[in-house]
Amino acid sequence: MANYDNLVICEHCDCVYDKVTLVNYQTSYCSRCDGVLQRFNGLSVEQRLALTFTAAVLWIFANFYPVMSINLQGLKSSATLWDSVLALSVGPITFIALVAAIAIIIAPVFQLLLLMWVLSFALANRRSPAFKSCMRWLETLRPWSMLEVCLLGAMVAVFKLAGLLDVLPGIGLFALAVLSLMMIRLAGRDIRDLWGIL
């Protein structure tokens, strides 16, 4: 079978191009539909693995510390991400709790675990066991991981409650802010480069 590794197909309009080598911050676009063909990937495997471990620590902070706490006439209350998922699980709307849990807790943690697994082996220049299914899961999880939406939602919630009572953003919120930005960089499409180098 002929090898087509040097070709890139535009996913938006099916045009075929030769792959080009990009340097810093360059992006190549399809000449027919203006879709992105290739994007420069500035992270080496080592850097990406290091950032993944950082993100995992942040995930722990974001999940085990309260996102925010409130104070109403001396009464205190605080909530973690898991508490907010549980708040949705009461009554007939349990299904939406599952969706929220996947979007803000489960999908991100699986992305991080898969990245750690795949990248640790990549560091030794090897494909990890179950490399194919790990890479496919990373593709499947990407659209359902919604940490940046969660961050904006938490900030809106702060403003929503600030009119009624005292609101104090917690450690969890700051961890969530940094984590959501890191996930955009870490779990993006350029992880596909591993197919080529391993």
Partner 1 sequence: MNTPPTASELNLCLCHTCGLACDLSNRAHQCERCDAPLHYRKINSLTRTWAYLLASLVFYIPANLLPVMNTTMLGSGADSTIMSGVLEFWQHGAWDIALIIFIASIAVPGIKFVALTLLLVTVQRNSQWARKERSKLYRFVELIGYWSMLDVIVVALVAALVKFQALGDIEPRVGILFFGLVVIFTMLSAMSFDPRLIWDTPQNKEQMDDAESH
Name the site residues for partner 1 (rule: CB under 8 A). 1-2, 4-5, 7-9, 11-17, 31-35, 67-70, 72-73, 75, 77-79, 83-88, 90-93, 95-97, 99-100, 103-104, 132, 135-136, 139, 143, 146, 149-150, 152-154, 156-157, 159-161, 163-165, 192, 195
Alpha carbon of residue 148 to chain centroid:
8
**CB burial string 83-110: b at 16+ within 10 A, e below:** ebbeebeeeeeeeebeebbbbbbbbbeb
For residue 79, which phi and psi values (nearest 5 degrees)?
-140, 135
Taking the least distance from each CB to partner 1, the nearer of 52 and 180 is 180
Taking the least distance from each CB to partner 1, the nearer of 93 and 124 is 93
Taking the least distance from each CB to partner 1, the nearer of 46 and 139 is 139
Neighbouring-strand partners of residue 8: 17
CB of 54 to partner 1, least distance (A): 24
Distance between CA 26 and CA 39 in Å, rounded? 6
CB of 53 to partner 1, least distance (A): 25
Taking the least distance from each CB to partner 1, the nearer of 4 and 26 is 4
**Tokens, residue 198:** 């391993």
Taking the least distance from each CB to partner 1, the nearer of 50 and 195 is 195
Q: For residue 194, give the nearest of 143, 126, 141 by alpha carbon.
A: 126
CB of 164 to partner 1, least distance (A): 8
CB of 27 to partner 1, least distance (A): 14
**Tokens, residue 21:** 């080598």
CB of 194 to partner 1, least distance (A): 9
For residue 26, which phi and psi values (nearest 5 degrees)?
-80, 150
